[in-house]
Amino acid sequence: MLKVENYFMNDQIRPDQINSQGHLQIGGVDSLTLAEQYGTPLVVYDVAQIREQIHRFQAVFEANHVQSEVSYASKAFAAIAIYQVVNQEHGHIDVVSGGELMTAIKAGFPMDRVTFHGNNKSEAELRLALDHQVGMIVIDNFYEIELLSRLLDELDLQTPVMLRITPGISAHTNEYIQTGQVDSKFGFDLGSGQADQALQAVLSNPRFQMKGIHAHIGSQIFEVAGFEGVANKLVEVAKHWQSEFNYQTEILNVGGGFGIRYVENDHPLAPEEFVDAIVKAVKKAAKVAKIPEPGIWIEPGRSIVGPAGYNLYTVGSRKDIPGYNPFLSVDGGMGDNIRPALYEAEYETVLAKDPAAENVETVRIAGKYCESGDILSRSQALPKTEPGDVLAMLDTGAYGFAMASNYNRNPRPAVVFVENGQSQLVIQRETWEDMVRLDLPYELN
Ligand SMILES: *Cc1c(COP(=O)(O)O)cnc(C)c1O
């Protein structure tokens, strides 16, 4: 009966994820089979879980009859396959670069459901966006207003836009990932009048179709207070713009940042609770301010793909040091998941062949990269392991592969989607040959 208790000790794995052989299964596929078939390190996504998360965000808006968009912030994980899935679920996407936009184009994603973000979009990126008539450009700064005005004149086009403002709200979260405080690099400041100036500039050019106001206050947020704060702030701005400039806001975009559970101490709210709080706050504030109820857009990234992702690694060498937790080295590391090294992000890891086995020691899971900071986990209780065992790191789906690098000229891992008991490669594993594909010999000597 010990096994059953253990299921609940790590509630990031559901009991139905242990198959008849006792192995971890993902989307109905044995994780050891995946490791064998595709090799490790391997990034695996449970596609049904991605679809479900999107639905959960959408459902509350629909139940409240709010004009809304759930826009997947695709920087969390961008690939042709994920854009296809989001499209199938009638979602919207955020892109932040020409590369992400090109990926969405190649995926056949409907361009009218794309929002283009960024604090320094290049002319080439904006041209690509305008050529493909993306549905929304979120203007971040005055330089961008000028640049866009020039391109729109040149191309003789109009474009829907939103203005990103800095709401002066700092979400209660890790300071490395705060973006809503007043001295953020993103968006127009309210207090100094920059946002008003930006609105006037946009309204004075008929090539801009001014749709709404955007703010994003941070990431991995666990409380509704920050979102209620941003909803109130955006309504306040909408009210001010209506009375001062006779501009009526159609859409309030409150950004993303909905927290997920990485480790036991994380206690995120359900998607429904976040959306419910946002809808209530906007409705109430709009009523008080006597402005028409605007549409509400949200931009979840991490919460869509994070919990659906697994990184599979194979155990190799081990170093025992008397008085310290041993190092257990795996065949991946900061090249496929830099978050632990970058901001001490934590994860839970299980032994794929027996996630319910009794833990016998606490180890440090070390990567294979030549960097002392390349530790995937500083403290992980595990059963006994041997070289060749497969470890499954949980909830790795957001900002893991997306931030992958070729440090030490290690190839980036493959990515596999699993659903209904079937698996399919969606990003091929890089090879050693790929590591030199773009190199050219120096010939000027
Ligand atoms: C990164 C980002 C998001 C998504 O944040 P998550 O924490 O992944 O939900 C949403 N909107 C904007 C503007 C962002 O930059």
Q: List, by residue range, all CATH 2.40.37.10 domains of the chain.
A: 2-39+308-436
pLDDT of residue 445: 80
pLDDT, one tens digit per residue, over 153-182 is: 999 999 999 999 999 887 765 544 555 567
* Average model confidence (pLDDT) across the chain: 94
Ligand 1 contact via 307 beta carbon (within 6 Å): no
pLDDT, one tens digit per residue, over 363-386 is: 999 999 999 999 999 999 999 999
pLDDT, one tens digit per residue, over 252-266 is: 999 999 999 999 999
SS3 250: coil
Residue 184 near residue 223 (C-beta atoms within 8 A): no
Span from the CA of 214 to the centroid of ligand 1 (angstroms)? 12
Check 370, 384, 422, 436 and give the catalytic one: 370
pLDDT of residue 402: 98
Express as a percent the part of the chain with pLDDT over 90. 91
**In the predicted model, what is the mean pLDDT of residues 318-346?**
97
pLDDT of residue 14: 87
Beta strands in 339-402 (DSSP E): 349-351, 361-366, 375-382, 390-394
CATH architecture of the region 2-39+308-436: Beta Barrel (2.40)
Instruction: Check whether 337 has a pLDDT greater than 60.
Output: yes
pLDDT of residue 179: 58
370 is catalytic: yes
Ligand 1 contact via 397 beta carbon (within 6 Å): no
Residue 212 to residues 138, 215, 234, Cα–Cα distance (Å):
9, 10, 10
Residue 33 near residue 288 (C-beta atoms within 8 A): no
Instruction: Check whether 237 has a pLDDT greater than 90.
Output: yes
Q: Which of 5-9, 91-95, 361-365 has the lowest mean pLDDT?
A: 5-9
- Atom number of ligand 1 nearest to Cα 177: 7
pLDDT, one tens digit per residue, over 259-300 is: 999 999 999 999 999 999 999 999 999 999 999 999 999 999
- Under CATH, which number does the domain 47-304 receive? 3.20.20.10
Ligand 1 contact via 294 beta carbon (within 6 Å): no
Instruction: Check whether 323 has a pLDDT greater than 50.
Output: yes
What is the identity of the amino acid at 130?
A: L
pLDDT of residue 432: 98
Residue 286 near residue 246 (C-beta atoms within 8 A): no
Q: List, by residue range, all CATH 3.20.20.10 domains of the chain.
A: 47-304
pLDDT of residue 178: 54
pLDDT band at 10 (very low <50, low <70, confident <90, very high): low
Q: According to the annotation, is 371 in a ligand binding site? A: yes
Q: According to the annotation, is 300 in a ligand binding site? A: yes
Strand partners, 364: 327
